[in-house]
Amino acid sequence: MTAGGWLAIILAVGGVTLWVGWCFYKVFSTPDASRMTAEPTIDPPDARKSREQGERED
């Protein structure tokens, strides 16, 4: 491994690691990073519909 190789690996791996770290820091430092923007779909709509139909028939 030459000095140029070490420089390349440090710049590339270090730079990308800093970049991804900064991005996630920014994402997590905003208050609503893991905020639920929607009610989770408990089950697929058609399954729910057929279940509701079944319940009505019962």
In the complex, the residues that contact another protein under the rule CB under 8 A are 1-2, 4-9, 12-13, 16-17, 19-20, 23-24, 26-27, 30, 32-49
Phi and psi at residue 10, to the nearest 5°: -65, -45
- Give least dist CB 52 to another protein, A: 12
- Give least dist CB 13 to another protein, A: 5
Q: CB within 8 A of 33, min separation 6: which ones?
A: 27
- Give least dist CB 57 to another protein, A: 19
Question: What distance in Å separates the CA atoms of residue 54 and residue 21, rounded to the nearest whole number?
Answer: 50
